[in-house]
Amino acid sequence: SKKRGRHRYSQYRPQMGHILRLRQELEQALAHAVSGEELELHYQPRITMATGELAGYEALVRWRRNGGLISPDDFISIAEEGGLIVAIGEWVIFEACRAAAEELGGAAISINISPRQFQDPGLVSAIDTALKESGLPHSRLEIEITESVLIEDDERAQQVITALRGMGVRVALDDFGTGYSSLSYLNRFTFDTIKIDRSFVQSDDEKTWNIVQSIMQMSRSLGTSVVAEGVETLEQLERLAAEGCDEAQGFLISPPGSAQEMRDYAKKSVPA
């Protein structure tokens, strides 16, 4: 009822002020994190299904705060709302290219680009500058975008994707299958890679695997490479290999780790 609504309003209002203050504090701390070197990248390897060889790494950002590591799921949305994502994203672009060239032996690297960052008019030139400064070949960089990026502004998204691919940078559609119109996006945009979301990969449902099968068939006809995300068991890996999946990423292969950990991983994983 109305009365109850009013009551709830007066009860929650002081708390809202408190939440707002907390958000502002967090935003300030995050702004400081960008300038104060509190951000760091972890890397997770992808392997080529057919050979088991290392195919590249995905860069995943972390915030080192008061001795602990904060996961991107807990701060990217705040950065996105406050606009800080552009500064954070730029740091990620430069650091990922530098690390790939200097610390990871020139390996291919993928970075995540959020919707607001994708709208930034300086994105393409930042990527170009990062590649030139690091000396990483353009074909060694892949950007990962989700459907939410494409929903924002279709035409602009098309332009940015075309510009990046024109430069030789690869573009991947991330979290494939979790949105509403994954298929229509495959039709409207050109991707070098699609990353099948782990909710499919980890499913026990036969129907879901039928969908995975059609994704593989479709991507073969489009000439798009398929990466399976969130591979945690040998059973999942075998199934994906049988379906013709190109690459796999997940805890089974390796959790994300530091550049040093990835160098150790790469040494071990070289086929005998």
At its nearest, how many Å lie between ligand C2E and the CB of residue 80? 8
Q: Which is nearer to Ca ion, 112 or 117 (CB)?
A: 112
Tell me the C-alpha distance between 143 and 124, whole Å.
11
Applying CB under 5 A, the span of 8-16, 35-43, 169-177, 251-259 interacting with Ca ion comes to 169-177
Applying CB under 5 A, the span of 100-108, 168-176, 213-221, 235-243 interacting with Ca ion comes to 168-176
112 binds Ca ion (CB under 5 A): yes
Tell me the C-alpha distance between 86 and 268, whole Å.
36
At its nearest, how many Å lie between ligand C2E and the CB of residue 178? 9
56 binds ligand C2E (CB under 6 A): no
At its nearest, how many Å lie between Ca ion and the CB of residue 41? 13
- Considering only 45, 56, 177, 250, the residue that binds ligand C2E (CB under 6 A) is 250
147 binds ligand C2E (CB under 6 A): no
Q: Which is nearer to ligand C2E, 197 or 216 (CB)?
A: 197
225 binds ligand C2E (CB under 6 A): no
Q: Which of the choices Ca ion, ligand C2E, none does residue 72 contact, using the CB cut-off of 5 to 8 A by kind?
A: ligand C2E
In the chain, the N- to C-terminal Cα span, in Å, equals 72
Type of residue numbered 228: A
120 binds ligand C2E (CB under 6 A): no
Neighbours of 135 (CB within 10 A): 12
Name which of residues 229 to 268 contact Ca ion (CB under 5 A). Answer: 229
- Considering only 73, 204, 205, 206, the residue that binds ligand C2E (CB under 6 A) is 73
Greatest Cα pair distance in the chain: 74
Tell me the C-alpha distance between 130 and 173, whole Å.
22
256 binds ligand C2E (CB under 6 A): yes
Q: Which of the choices Ca ion, ligand C2E, none does residue 61 contact, using the CB cut-off of 5 to 8 A by kind?
A: ligand C2E
How many amino acids of this chain bind ligand C2E (CB under 6 A)? Answer: 23
Residues engaged in binding Ca ion (CB under 5 A): 112, 144, 174-175, 229
